[in-house]
Amino acid sequence: MHALVLNCTLKPSPARSNTDQLAEVVVDGLQREKVNVERIRLVAQRMLERMDAMLSETDAAGRPVAYNRVAGVVVTGNEDGAHHVISEISGALCDIGYTIPGQSWTYWNKGPGPGPSYTETAEGHEWSAKTGRAMASNLAAEARALADNPIPAPSG
> What percentage of the chain carries pLDDT values higher than 70?
94
Give per-residue pLDDT as tens, 90-118: 999 998 899 999 999 999 887 777 778 88
Could you tell me which residues come within 8 angstroms of residue 1 by beta carbon, excluding any fewer than 6 positions away? 33, 34, 35, 36, 140, 143, 144, 147
Question: Cα dist. 135→15, 81, 105, 115, 125 in Å?
Answer: 25, 19, 6, 26, 15
Distance CA 33, CA 136 (A): 8
Q: Which domains does the chain have, with CATH numbers?
A: 2-47+63-148 (3.40.50.360)
Q: What is the pLDDT of residues 21-64, one digit of tens each?
A: 999 999 999 999 999 999 988 868 678 788 888 888 888 988 88
The pLDDT assigned to 9 comes to: 84
Closest CA to 4 of 62, 51, 52: 51
47 HSE (CA, 13 A, CB side): 17
Cβ-Cβ contacts under 8 Å for 14 (sequence gap 6 or more) = none
Percent of the chain with pLDDT strictly greater than 90: 51
More confident residue, 111 or 17: 17
Mean pLDDT for the stretch of residues 56-74: 91
Q: Tell whether pTM > 0.75.
A: yes
Q: What is the structure's pLDDT at 83?
A: 86
Closest to 74 (Cα-Cα) out of 124, 109, 126, 114:
109
User: What is the distance between the alpha carbons of residues 72 and 121, in angstroms, rounded to a whole number?
Assistant: 24
Q: How confident is the model at residue 80 (pLDDT cuts 50, 70, 90)?
A: low
Biggest distance spanned by C-alpha atoms of the chain: 54
The confidence score (pLDDT) of residue 104 equals 95
